[in-house]
């Protein structure tokens, strides 16, 4: 009968008469020695799980705000809270408590991730709607070249011809320009810029601009061959009041990657 009782204890069943060592958090020394005893009392296959569980419980009871106030006041509330979470518990209880914490944490992480996915999807939809509106602000012609200036060196020039076929006046336009050669996968330059339109651009109006980026910017530094072609994407238009009319800049490539990553991680189509 004694052999059966011992076997059941080792099989992780809680029965009367089974005595397991518990963690004693009375002092730092008793905490250290009792953790070692509790660990040694566990089957070999459970010891790594116990080590991880100790860390989970310890860090789940440490709060950065409390630690800061402890440092300022000279108290040890955060450490006391950690010891309290460990005190009087067997190895299996530590493992069980840590598992509960991990399950709760995973549930909260999933809830937060689903909320973030929802917000990113809303931003994506707004960006798609804006892109449809922005297509009415047409880039008829785009060129990039460097104009030679005596004593001052080459000056970068972005030359654009645009037409406002939206139904609203535009005071400022925001663009992404890509300078690339046919047949090359990597562009020479991809950069954002914007232009405040003097007097605005009314619906149906057409204009040609010669914009001169700073010669020390990437536009001034780029050395592209003669076959390089400049393509322009309209990303935002501001109205007469200076507020954004339509914009895709609230949902960029990083947002797209983040959305795809979260949906893949949580199995969402």
Domain ranges of the chain: 19-107, 135-238
- Report the candidate in 234, 230, 214 with the shortest Cα–Cα distance to residue 173: 234
The reported pLDDT for the residue numbered 251 is: 92
- Return all residues near 89 (Cβ < 8 A) that are at least 6 apart: 22, 23, 97
Per the listing, tokens 């963690």 go with 23
Q: Is 199 left (phi over 0), alpha (psi -120 to 50) or beta?
A: left
Q: Measured between alpha carbons, how far is residue 85 from residues 47, 77, 171 in Å?
A: 19, 12, 61
pLDDT digit string, tens, across residues 193-234: 999 999 999 999 999 999 999 989 999 999 999 999 999 999
pLDDT digit string, tens, across residues 66-83: 444 554 444 556 678 888
The reported pLDDT for the residue numbered 14 is: 40
The reported pLDDT for the residue numbered 57 is: 87
- C-alpha 116/C-alpha 258 separation (Å) is 9
The reported pLDDT for the residue numbered 79 is: 77
Q: Which residues of the chain have pLDDT under 50?
A: 1-17, 64-68, 71-74
The reported pLDDT for the residue numbered 62 is: 66
The reported pLDDT for the residue numbered 78 is: 67
The reported pLDDT for the residue numbered 18 is: 57
Q: Which two tokens stand for residue 84?
A: 């309290």
Calculate the CA 259 to chain-centre distance.
10
The reported pLDDT for the residue numbered 7 is: 37
pTM: 0.64
Q: Which of the four CATH numbers 1.10.3290, 2.60.40, 2.40.128, 2.40.170 does domain 135-238 have?
A: 2.60.40
């Amino acid at each position: 009968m004694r052999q059966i009782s011992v076997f059941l204890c080792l099989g992780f069943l809680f029965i009367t008469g089974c005595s397991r060592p518990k963690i004693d958090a009375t002092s730092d020394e008793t905490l250290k020695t009792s953790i070692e005893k509790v660990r040694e009392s566990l089957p070999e296959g459970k010891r790594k799980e116990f080590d991880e569980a100790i860390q989970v419980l310890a860090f789940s009871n440490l709060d950065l705000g409390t630690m800061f106030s402890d440092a300022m006041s000279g108290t040890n509330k955060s450490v006391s809270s950690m010891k309290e979470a460990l005190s009087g518990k067997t190895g299996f209880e530590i493992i069980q408590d840590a598992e509960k914490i991990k399950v709760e944490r995973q549930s909260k992480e999933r809830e937060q991730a689903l909320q973030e996915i929802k917000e990113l999807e809303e931003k994506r939809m707004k960006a798609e709607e804006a892109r449809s509106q922005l297509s009415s602000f047409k880039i008829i012609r785009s060129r990039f070249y460097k104009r030679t200036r005596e004593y001052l060196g080459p000056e970068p020039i972005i030359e654009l011809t645009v037409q406002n076929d939206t139904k609203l006046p535009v005071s400022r336009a925001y663009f992404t320009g890509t300078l690339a050669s046919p047949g090359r996968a990597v562009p020479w330059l991809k950069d954002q810029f914007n232009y405040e339109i003097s007097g605005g651009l009314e619906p149906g109006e057409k204009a040609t601009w010669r914009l001169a980026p700073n010669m020390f910017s990437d536009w001034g530094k780029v050395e592209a061959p003669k076959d390089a072609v400049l393509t322009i994407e309209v990303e935002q238009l501001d109205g007469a009041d200076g507020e954004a009319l339509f914009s895709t800049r609230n949902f960029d490539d990083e947002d797209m990657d983040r959305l795809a990553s979260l949906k893949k991680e949580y199995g969402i189509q």
